[in-house]
Structure 1
Amino acid sequence: MVHGQIMKYGVEGFLIIRNSLMNMYCSMGCLLEARLLFDKSLCLDLISWNCMITAYGRCGEVEAAKDLFEKMPERNLVSWGAMIDGYVMNGEFSEALKLYNDMQVSGLKPDAMTLNVILGTALVDMYAKCGCINVALDLFDGIHHKDVILWNAMIGGLAMHGYGRDALELFFDMRRHGTLPNSTTFVTVLSACAHSGMVEKGIGIFESMKEYGVEPGIEHYGCLADILGRAGRVHEAEQILSNMPMEPQASHWGALMAACRTHNNIEVGERVGKHLISMEPHDGGRYILLSNMYAAVGRWEDARNIRREMDRKGAKKETGCSSIEKDGSLEEFVVGDTTHHCSREIYEMLDDLERAMKMPGIAQDYSPIDNLDSS
């Protein structure tokens, strides 16, 4: 109605009015309407550009924010801060640090707020992901004004490295400090519960989400199913995935399939495996996992039939590959590859490891599953 009155009186073309309208639409999350005003404007100033970049970053559309940022005819500290904040809010901390460096190169000096957003959250996240948990915690404790993004970074770092109970305790500290958890917070906390075997805690946290105004999404249901699956409660996990209000992804069923394999539950595993194959008929890994389950319980004919079906459909299993950064360069290792410049030394080391594993006291898995004859 307000916009309609502005158009009626013919003042929409005034820059201050147009910027206010854009800010109004951005505040309501109506980015299409705001962008339409932006694109129609014959005259734009820094406020116009910064408004749109900030809105895109806060709504998770980082690429759109980046596109506008790169097209800006001029930038000020607010422009750089808005783009950096967008990266941080969406977990792209390395990009935030890179942009911070670019800002310094451009000659702009960051203010205290910009430094807090970048160095506070990005460094905590970096050290936590690298496994330097004590360093990350020291940095985290030294930051006085903690927002939900910083809490999420620290909780996620603890969860990633197996400190599930510490992650859960930090989650409770977050609530005691008056910071409301968001959707990302619950993903990290539920993941921590899954990897630490805290089943009842995880279920309780999942059920408490709506108390904080957070509606469980597909990732939260997936975490809950993972919590139950890892604990061997695969029937309950199957029910969660089957009855969730949205369609589960293949990755969710795959995690449940792996849990069935771990806990040797052929009943649920067979159902889930066949469902996975119907979802991804050209993914060879799905056939192999089900074939392995059959072989583990002595159902050799079923195992061979699955391998034959895999061959008939031309499904391929992705070749195993890993990579590591060393002295600034990326080294990649592929199963069966002999082209690497250190392949001789690598295979010699693998032979040494194999010999060491055959020493007394080392438990080995001699399962011949992967060599199963499918002819």
Structure 2
Amino acid sequence: MNRRDFIYRVGMAGMSLPCLNATGASAQTSKAKSVIYIFLQGGLSQYDSFNVEVDKPVLGKSTIIKSNVDGVRVSNYYPKLARQMDQVLVLNAMKTNQGAHPAGIYKMLTGYNPRSTVTHPELGAWVNKCLTRERDSLPNFVSIGNGRAGSAGFFPGQWAALPVKDPDKGIDFVKRNESLGENAFKKRLNILDSLNKDFEKDFGSKDTRSYVDTYAGSLKFMNSNDIDAFELKNENPHIVNLYGKSEFSRSCLMAGRLVERGVRFVKVNLGGWDYHDGIYDKMPANANRLDSGLSSLLTHLGQKGLLDSTLVVVSTEFGRKPDVNPNRGRDHHPDGFTCLIAGAGVKAGQIYGSTTKDGKHADEDVLDVTDFNASIAWRLGIDPGYEENSASGRPFELANKGKAHKELFS
């Protein structure tokens, strides 16, 4: 992202207005204020993580450990989360119609199948557009880590995520060029402001007003104390030690800092889950990253009193097959994978949905990815059926006809 893109995304983010349908949603249903959306790109193996209630051969080399909730068991690769399953709702019968990575990722994050004629907004972009910010000096949608950065699709680019590639480096373009003194910088801004006013007076339009507001919003962000949310070096050492040093854990730490300051949607990327070979040699390291980062995040949010108002989501584009292939890996499997949700009044400490015992199919309480997205939007107080038109004038619903599963929440 270059400086111009940065200014556009940060400056325009303060201009979001509530979706008309969202304002009609019952206040009682709007339990969540923010979402931390952890995306496991590559395809998490459900049978080596959180769906262990299947025939023993399906588990491969994984073993089962008890959690702190009777009747909820997990894989041995998640010992820290096992002690926090009273805060988590496990969704074990997720289903998608896409079995390849690009299409599966697209479907999971947008709710739509890929098309050559239109690019759909990610769920985070819908939330960005529909919900006003609690603080107008911060962006409303942030994506942390490598991976799909949070596309606005057919929305204007202002609704895309502000990307943060490395949580330890924060964001670029927020400091004045050291070669330019403060007085000279202010002088240039005054000249720019004068030119903008003259231009708007003679040629004023919605576009020119947006352009001026973009720069005003960007300057507010750059000069705000809230920018500290992106500076992990300023965090309490006790909290830093809680999370540890892995990039994913520190991404989760930044996500927690952002929702504490009112950012509505923070996406955290953790890739590397595509284990077609050597899964039991390669997967444990990534499982440890997820186990440590997510457990620290839940602890941190709980200590801050933020878990009641923050919906924590863990998703992936599809799962893995129940059989281990000759290369000692697992191939793609879109029928019956696992996602997690926590916080914001979810019915935690339970398992929702199941697969057949052979692990081949989602069986009971099946949850399509469109319903998954609809449920997240509904918990934020947004109507899942809210529509926006693409550039060609075609209407598209936020959740693509998905229905909110209100039974997931108290």
- Normalised TM-score (structure 2): 0.24
- Bigger CA radius of gyration: 1
Structure with larger RCO (C-alpha < 8 A, sep 6+) = 2
Structure in which a larger fraction of residues adopt strand: 2
Structure in which a larger fraction of residues adopt helix: 1
